[in-house]
Amino acid sequence: MSKPDATTIIVPSPGKLDVPAPPEVIRRFEEVLESLPDSMLEHHRETIVKAFRYAAEAHAGQTRLSGDPYIVHPLEVMAILAELQVDTVTLLGALLHDVVEDTGITVEDVAREFWPVVALLVEGITKLKPLQYDTKSNEARQAEYFRKMLLSMAQDLRVILIKLADRLHNMRTLEAMPPKSRQRIALETIEIYAPLAHRFGIGRLKWELEDLSLKVLDNVAYRRIAERVAMKREEREAAIDEVVQPLRKRLEEEGMRAEVVGRAKHFYSIYNKIKRRGKSFEEILDLLAVRILVDTIPDCYRALGVVHNLFTPILERFSDYIAMPKANMYQSLHTKVIDKHGRTVEVQIRTYEMETVSEVGIAAHWRYKEDGGDTLQQDNLGDYYRWLRQVIEGSRDAESDEEFMKNLKINLFTDEIFVFTPRGKLIQLPKAATPVDFAFAVHTDIGLTTLGAKVNGKMVPLDIGLNNGDSVEILTSVHAKPSVDWLRFVKTSRARSKIRRYLKQAQFEESVRLGEELLSRELGKYRKKLTKQKISDLVSSFGKESPEAFFAALGAGDLSLHSVVKHLVGEEEPKREKKTAFLRSIKKENAGIRVKGVDNLMVNIASCCNPLPGDRILGFISKGRGIVVHRMD
């Protein structure tokens, strides 16, 4: 991390902060400042005060649609991120994220006044300002916006933390927007931003984004769920208590320090289960949810044993996300049991550290890093960047904005499954992925030479959906190649991208071959041959970057064969035209052509090459035409 500038800043006592902002805004800033971790370095606090003053002065006189001073927005974005306990750089980026877009300040100014890495974040957010081009479709605007977002995230993933907090505060204050804008923003939030929060493991933001979106998109359903949850609260809390109390007692007897709590269901989660799973409201509310927090991973498994001894486990409903973490770093043991009243209870068991990661996700990386801890594995961040690179790579191969948005949503929405290679290596794939997806996940060369697949030792079709725990073996052949039909069923953007790239390259190579063949055949009519010098001249004259590109354009029909030939031979007539009468006489009488050892057969001269006496020839038997004679060259 770069050093802050050497300017000494005194953090004022409450009520004495000299900033062009209303007193209530200053008090709010002081509350947020007070909430920051005690471990934060003092000069970092001082720099945050400087950034607040800098942003307040830059936004002075600006207001939001709600009528609030504009500085309220960056302050609340910072407050949301402060709850995640992110690093100082992210907090500074939050406070300053709109100064370049909405004021006369430049990225260079930010870099000079603060740290270059802060300026990088501000620049990344500034590039994401909403597009206003009326000539573009909504799909095109969205695609361009999210392409820029992916590229900004690839430079520094903290950009997405700021953008998610920015979207959350906008959702909290959405009432000030016109109804049509509210609907559009809420739909975009539920389709893109909430899944992004989930993909990066930030459950705390995901849940609120989803609930706020539901409130706009289906307000009637939102209010009904809220009312019925409130009505059943006491009944549900009593039922949960009947599960929690015996668990606490038994865990204490086992000598474990454990926290056992009821787990709240979020409105959108309830709504989703009603809509997608066809469950009734009562069925979902009757499903009790409990979470157990312990100190260590061994304690997680000990607590699992306690749960299964106290209650009847539903064996097929057990998942071990500690041994096999989800792609967003989520770890926990999940089990379902039946209590003494026959009610189903969902139980999650995890460590306190896992609980933190499930709420703040990728933000934990920077929090731990700044505090000097090493509890978060460094390679987790690399996993996010690898995923991001795959999405960006896939976006380049998308043939339309609609396809790009579809692929992005697939990458964000799908749940994961875990399957194994024959050697026992774990491969993570989206739900319902196929053996072809698996092959490309293992290695591109394996995907490109896939011939067949075995799942759990049995031959299966390549389009079959894989399940958790499957063992997959890919059969390959140097003669096998991807089929365009694979694009119909593959689920991963990586597989889709690699297949499409191969097909494009194969089509290009076929066009090159066809272009060379067409031109050589046409020049043969003039008894001329292509030379390296002629090819070089053609490439230059027709504005192509290489001989391959020239022949591919010719083979694909993008270049006129007639114009190319005319460029080479000018107004010269084909040699065969000078002997038309002679050829006619040969064809008429079948003269000059004899097939040795065969009598009484019709013989025809091929019009494509018009062989002459003395040419080396080849005859083909053709139904209804006898023998058709071609030149061998």
Three-class SS of 88-115: HHHHHHHHHCCHHHHCCCCHHHHHHHCC
- Pick from 301, 292, 299: nearest CA to 348: 292
Tokens read off for 469: 């725990």
Mean pLDDT of the chain: 82
What average pLDDT does range 484-509 have in this prediction? Answer: 88
pLDDT-derived band at 1, boundaries 50, 70, 90? very low
Confidence band of 112 (pLDDT split at 50, 70, 90): very high
- The predicted pLDDT at position 376 comes to 44
Do 153 and 160 contact (CB within 8 A), yes or no?
Answer: yes
pLDDT of residue 574: 60
- Give per-residue pLDDT as tens, 185-195: 999 899 888 98
Of 616 and 72, the one with more pLDDT: 72
* pTM across the whole model: 0.68
Q: List, by residue number, the catalytic residues.
A: 101-102
For the chain, what percent of residues have pLDDT higher than 70?
82
C-alpha distances in Å from residue 565, one per residue of 40, 521, 529, 572: 75, 11, 11, 10
Provide the pLDDT for residue 4. 38
Does residue 95 contact residue 59 with C-beta atoms inside 8 Å? no
Work out the average pLDDT over 30-56.
Answer: 90
**Most confident among 6-15, 386-395, 601-610 (mean pLDDT):** 601-610
CA distance 55 to 66: 19
**pLDDT class for 598, splitting at 50, 70, 90?**
low
| pLDDT score for 379 | 46
pLDDT bracket for residue 427 (50, 70, 90): confident
414 falls in which pLDDT band (50, 70, 90)?
Answer: low
Lowest-confidence segment of 100-114, 455-469, 560-574 by average pLDDT:
560-574
Given a cut of 90, whether residue 388 has pLDDT beyond it is: no
Residue 393's H or E segment, with its range, is helix 379-397
Q: What is the mean pLDDT of residues 565-576?
A: 69
Closest listed residue to residue 593, CA positions, set 626, 629, 622, 621 = 629
Architecture of the 221-371 domain:
2-Layer Sandwich (3.30)
Look at 397 and 31; give whichever has higher pLDDT: 31
Spell out the residues 6+ positions from residue 593 whose beta carbon is closer than 8 angstroms to its own.
586, 603, 605, 617, 629
What is the three-class DSSP state of 371? Answer: helix
Determine the average pLDDT of the residues in 131-138.
48
CB atoms within 10 A of CB 36: 16
**Predicted local confidence at residue 9, as pLDDT:** 38
pLDDT reported for residue 14? 42
Q: Higher-confidence residue: 269 or 148?
A: 269
**What does the alpha-carbon distance between residue 375 and residue 365 come to, in Å, rounded to a whole number?**
9
Contact 335, 308 (CB under 8 A): yes
Give residue 11's pLDDT: 44
Query: For 323-379, what is each residue's pLDDT tens digit?
Result: 888 877 889 999 999 988 888 899 999 999 999 888 888 887 776 445 444 444 444
Element (H, E) at 531: none
Enumerate the domain spans of the chain: 23-176, 221-371, 500-569, 576-631
Comparing 133 with 553, which gets the higher pLDDT? 553
Please report the pLDDT score of residue 398 as a whole number.
65
Domain 23-176 matching CATH 1.10.3210.10: the answer reads: yes
Q: How far is residue 387's CA from residue 153's CA, in Å, rounded to a whole number?
A: 11
> Which ranges of 429-546 would DSSP assign to H, the alpha helix?
435-442, 444-448, 493-524, 532-541
More confident residue, 571 or 32: 32
**pLDDT-based confidence at 55, cuts 50/70/90?**
very high
pLDDT at 219: 93
23-176 and 221-371 share one fold: no
What are the respective helix, strand and coil percentages of the chain, to the nearest 5?
55, 10, 30
Pairing of the two strands 259-262 and 426-430:
unpaired
Q: How far apart are CA 353 and CA 326, in angstroms?
A: 15
Mean pLDDT, range 182-209, rounded to an integer? 89
Q: What is the pLDDT of residues 281-338, one digit of tens each?
A: 777 766 788 999 999 999 999 999 999 999 999 877 788 999 888 877 889 999 999 9
Most confident of 248-252, 362-366, 625-629: 248-252
Residue 571 has pLDDT above 70, yes or no: no
Task: Extract long-range pairs of 270-275: CB within 8 Å, 24+ residues apart.
Answer: 270/225, 270/229, 271/214, 271/218, 271/221, 271/222, 271/225
